[in-house]
Structure 1
Amino acid sequence: MEDTRLRVRSLVAALILLTLTSLGARAQETAGGFLSELHEFRVNNYMALDAYYRFSGNGDTDTLNEIVIGINAANDAMNTIIKSTTGVLSTEQIEGLNQEFDQFKALMRSNINDVRKTGYPDLRLVSDMANQALAMNNMATDLYMAAQESAQTETNPRVEAARSAAVKMAQMMAKYSVRTNSQVAQTFQGSATEKPLDEQAREFDQLLATVMRGDSGSELKEIMSDISSKWEFIRGSYINYNEKNVGFVIDRYSKGILKGLATTITLLQGNA
């Protein structure tokens, strides 16, 4: 029992000690690398949010660890963006995003501590965090689009569709997770301005269709076939939410899709 308490304290401490600089972060010297970091920033923040909603329902230290992993990954991406020397975005644009991220991290810490102290989440704070996550990631998306234009480099439409699909999947996971796991699910359904799950799922359909359009080698075909199969298995759960659906199965398959999309992006970039 004491070991568990110490582990929880160390995990929360790891989240609290996140700072503006990262010892291991390296500046990305290419526009492509800069876009990749912005992409990772968006995905990992939603993954941390997804893990929080599950943590708010089960209080499990392994789930808490997932939150820390997601925040750390987003933090590493943010630090690399800050240290970039590409000049793709202005200092003011990057600092604005970093300030939004600092607010998100602060809200995440407060919400974690609430669950640890009382055993259940504070509805107001959870709502604040959900709205902050959406605003922050919308800003990151706007900056991603601005960076694409500023970079003046040709981008692969299938890579961009795969990245958008990954962000969409991570966002759907978080929204689905709050419905399934949160003890306040009946009164709180995520950000007030977020699109409904069924609409997001149909957008994912279109993005996935774009990724799959075009020539592909045998390895890429196999990966995309696996993504398609996993999506067909869980698509109905996102389109028509049902409390009888098994949440951990949806979570597992969704993570499998994210992993497959990451591999797809790597393969598509290698074939470019």
Structure 2
Amino acid sequence: MSSRRSLAFSLSALLVFLFAFVSPSLLAAPTDDLLRLHQLRLATQKSLGDFYMYNGMEGDQRYARMIGESLQEAQGHLDALGEMPGEGAKALRSQWQGEWQGYRDGLQALMEAMRSQGYTDLQPVADLADSNQRLMAIAQELYQKIQQESGYSVPTLTQQSREQSLLMQGIALDYASRSASIGGSFFGGGEERAIDELVGEFASKLDGLNRAQQNTPEISAALGSIGTKWRYIEKSLLNYNENSVPFLVSKYSDSIIEGLEGVAAQYAANQH
């Protein structure tokens, strides 16, 4: 019995030694944190798109609920982030948290203005969009910094699928801002580019994913479903100045993003 105890002690002492001297990045790749950070970006971007829908639909409570859900989801992903792998990532995370608090407060103040007076002033909306863009830029930098400081890289096809999700969210956000008559200059989510250029990029990159040699039958089927939904809204996106259908674009973009996230997860699983 005592020999078992001493063996258990020796093993636990060995583990303590390993944890003390082995780099944390070697013990666990930051795959979960990078996924959480990606989903944090999606939820943050979506919260602004939901607000544009709320504004454009004159205070429709369905979108008020969706804003709340997007903010809650983003906060949940932020809270779940683990220890950052280095000082650069820690500093960026801290910077993000500071900007995030101001963004949340600004968004909630605009929702309150919409409830109490039935409209929002343009300047606070422009400020909110600027804050959203800063958050997206910091999160992108943090996403790169985590990989740099941990020595881990997100697999190529997983990364391409995630970028496709963010692009779809950006297109939906741009479309919602135009439909809400807030103006294309107030869209958050990266550089300001013509919506037809973004649509062309999405279609081209979706074709690229469809041609990937690593596609399993399940992934091909999922991409086929995404393609069908995309074709359903593609013409509306290209003709955004004619018949505005923000509800349709919002609904289908959510479904396309959900499909792309599933594809990204399958690509990641197939790497192991």
Partner of 1:15: none
Q: Distance in 2 between matches of 1:150 and 1:214?
A: 30
Q: Does the 8 A contact of 1:162 with 1:207 survive in 2?
A: no
Partner of 1:149: 148
Partner of 1:61: 61
Cα drift, residue 165 of structure 1 = 0.9
The structure-2 alpha-carbon separation of the partners of 1:241 and 1:247, relative to structure 1 and needing over 3 Å to count, comes to: same
Partner of 1:120: 119
Asked which structure has the greater CA Rg, the reply is 2
Cα drift, residue 153 of structure 1 = 2.0
Cα drift, residue 31 of structure 1 = 0.7
Cα drift, residue 189 of structure 1 = 4.2
Q: Distance in 2 between matches of 1:245 and 1:61?
A: 20
Can you give the 5+ residue segments of structure 2 that lack an aligned partner in the other structure? 1-27
Q: How many residues align?
A: 239
Kindly report which structure 2 residues correspond to 1:1-272, keeping only aligned pairs within 5 A, or say none.
Answer: 30-58=29-57, 59-81=59-81, 84-88=82-86, 89-180=88-179, 182=180, 184-185=181-182, 187=183, 189-191=185-187, 194-212=192-210, 213-272=212-271
Q: Distance in 2 between matches of 1:200 and 1:132?
A: 22
Deviations 1:180-224 (A, max 9, x none): 1x2x43x56424852222222233234323433222222111100
CA-based RMSD of the aligned residues comes to 1.9
Cα drift, residue 61 of structure 1 = 1.6
Q: Does the 8 A contact of 1:227 with 1:260 survive in 2?
A: yes
Cα drift, residue 30 of structure 1 = 4.0
Provide the TM-score with structure 1 as the length reference: 0.81
Secondary structure of the structure 1 residue equivalent to 2:186 = coil
Deviations 1:33-87 (A, max 9, x none): 1111110111001111111111112312221010010011111111122xx1252
Secondary structure of the structure 2 residue equivalent to 1:39 = helix
Q: Distance in 1 between matches of 2:113 and 2:164?
A: 33
Q: Does the 8 A contact of 1:220 with 1:264 survive in 2?
A: yes
Q: Distance in 2 between matches of 1:47 and 1:114?
A: 20
Q: Does the 8 A contact of 1:30 with 1:86 survive in 2?
A: no
Provide the TM-score with structure 2 as the length reference: 0.81
Whichever residue aligns with residue 37 of structure 2, its letter is L
Whichever residue aligns with residue 176 of structure 1, its letter is Y
Secondary structure of the structure 2 residue equivalent to 1:148 = helix
Q: Does the 8 A contact of 2:195 with 2:237 survive in 1?
A: yes
The structure-2 alpha-carbon separation of the partners of 1:150 and 1:156, relative to structure 1 and needing over 3 Å to count, comes to: same
The structure-2 alpha-carbon separation of the partners of 1:30 and 1:72, relative to structure 1 and needing over 3 Å to count, comes to: farther
Secondary structure of the structure 2 residue equivalent to 1:194 = coil
Whichever residue aligns with residue 203 of structure 2, its letter is D
Partner of 2:10: none
Q: Distance in 2 between matches of 1:90 and 1:166?
A: 23
Identity percentage of aligned residues = 22
Can you give the 5+ residue segments of structure 1 that lack an aligned partner in the other structure? 1-28
Instruction: Please identify runs of 4+ aligned residues in structure 1 that moved more than 3 A.
Output: none
The structure-2 alpha-carbon separation of the partners of 1:158 and 1:188, relative to structure 1 and needing over 3 Å to count, comes to: closer
Q: Distance in 2 between matches of 1:51 and 1:77?
A: 18
